[in-house]
Amino acid sequence: MNMIMLGPPGVGKGTIAKKISAKYSWPQLSTGDMLREAIAKETEVGLKAKEFVESGKLVPDDIVIGIVKERISKDDCKAGFIFDGFPRTLPQAEAIDKEEIKIDAVLDFRASYEVIMQRLGGRRTCKKCGAIFHTKNIPPKKEGICDQCGGSLYQRDDEKPDVISKRLDVYDEQTKPLVNFYEKKEILLPINAETTADEIFRYCEEILGLVPSAPQ
Ligand code: AMP
């Protein structure tokens, strides 16, 4: 099963991608994580991507397509994978077709502007292991400290209010057209992302046919 998690930043697609990945052993291919890692390691890609990521702009297509092509060629992607945060532009979606990468389903996560602002603004990330918490929804046991590894939690620069609203504008302008693109291919599955992570995860499993549907 090869799938795409589509939706605005902060809608929770990464959380669901992690849950699906953990249960079904399909790797989660998050271009945001790959770019942040490249920036932290100061690789050539990282140095090119840094100013775009930090200001909430999209990294140029050729850079992102390059890192995805390299990642997808690895053995662990053979049985299936989850694209998280990719594609984000029409040229990226067209690159998937050009490379003849088959996509079985596109989960389109939807939530209101207010819900997204609340989720992103409260998000805190572990500096050491990347685990994600939320000041209200998923508070760590000890404030500012990761439950999993004891690392310190921080707010990403691109999760501060002015950059969040820039990223949402970028989503509307450049990524939303993909909804129509995948609707036409008849592989788009709309997901109400305003409920809890467990409910959304269960619904995704059902709609993907991974578990039987619960009786109505
Ligand atoms: P994310 O963690 O997915 O929200 O991504 C964080 C940032 O990484 C974005 O705001 C972009 O600057 C960059 N980025 C991630 N994925 C892509 C992509 N597919 N195309 C262009 N830029 C991306």
Q: pLDDT tens digit string along 30-52?
A: 999 999 999 999 999 999 999 99
For 57-74, what is the mean pLDDT? Answer: 96
Q: 53: pLDDT confidence band, cut at 50, 70 and 90? A: very high
From the CA of 89, give the closest atom in ligand 1.
Answer: 20
* Cα 52 to Cα 205: distance, rounded to the nearest angstrom: 34
pLDDT tier at 137, thresholds 50, 70, 90: confident
Indicate if the pLDDT at residue 187 is higher than 90.
yes
| Residue 52 near ligand 1, beta carbon < 6 Å | yes
Q: Spot the catalytic one: 13, 18, 23, 176.
A: 13
Q: What is the pTM of this model?
A: 0.90
In what side-by-side order are the strands of the sheet with 153-154? 132-134, 123-126, 153-154
More confident residue, 20 or 162: 20
User: Element (H or E) spanning 109, and its range?
Assistant: strand 105-110
Q: Give percent above pLDDT 70 in the chain.
A: 100
Closest CA to 83 of 96, 100, 97, 66: 96
| The one catalytic residue among 36, 88, 119, 124 | 88
Give the distance (Å) from ligand 1 centre to CA of residue 165. 14
Mean pLDDT score, 127-142: 91
Lookup result for tokens 């690895």: 74
- Please state whether the peptide bond connecting residue 177 to the residue before it is cis, i.e. omega within 30 degrees of 0: no
Q: How far is the CA of 213 from the centre of ligand 1 (A)?
A: 33
Does the CB atom of residue 50 touch ligand 1 within 6 A? Answer: no
Q: Which amino acid is at 142?
A: K
CB of 10 closer than 6 A to ligand 1?
A: no
Q: If you average pLDDT over residues 161-186, what whole number do you get?
A: 94
> What local confidence, expressed as pLDDT, does residue 216 receive?
67
